[in-house]
Structure 1
Amino acid sequence: MQRISDAERLIMEIIWKAGRPMTTLEIIQRLPQEKTWKQNTVVTFLSRLIEKGIIKATKKGKANLYEACVTEQEYLNFETKQFIKDVHKGSIFGFISALCDNGDITREDIEALMKRLKE
Structure 2
Amino acid sequence: MRRLGELEAEIMDRFWRWNRPATVREVVDDLNRQRDAAYTTVTTVTSILFHKGHLTRTREGRVWLYEAVATREAYSAALMEDGLGASEDRPAALVHFVENLDEDEIAALRKALRDVGRRAKE
Q: How does 1:1-119 map onto structure 2 within 5 Å?
A: 3-31=3-31, 33-86=33-86, 88-89=87-88, 91=90, 93-99=91-97, 104-106=100-102, 110=106, 113=109, 116-117=112-113, 119=117
Could you list the runs of 5+ residues in structure 2 that have no partner in the other structure? 118-122
Could you list the runs of 5+ residues in structure 1 that have no partner in the other structure? none
CA distance in structure 1 between the aligned counterparts of 2:108 and 2:21, rounded to whole angstroms: 37
The superposition leaves residues 32-91 of structure 1 with CA deviations (integer Å, 9 ceiling, x where unpaired) of 6442110111011111111111111211122111111222222111111112223x3461
Deviation at 1:26, TM superposition (A): 0.6
RMSD: 2.7
Counterpart amino acid of 1:68?
A: A
Q: 1:53 to 1:115 in 2, by over 3 A?
A: closer
Q: 1:40 to 1:90 in 2, by over 3 A?
A: farther
Q: 1:27 to 1:85 in 2, by over 3 A?
A: same
Structure 2 length as normaliser, TM-score? Answer: 0.74
Contact 1:2 1:52 in 2 (8 A): no
Structure 1 length as normaliser, TM-score? Answer: 0.76
Q: Number of residues paired by the alignment?
A: 115
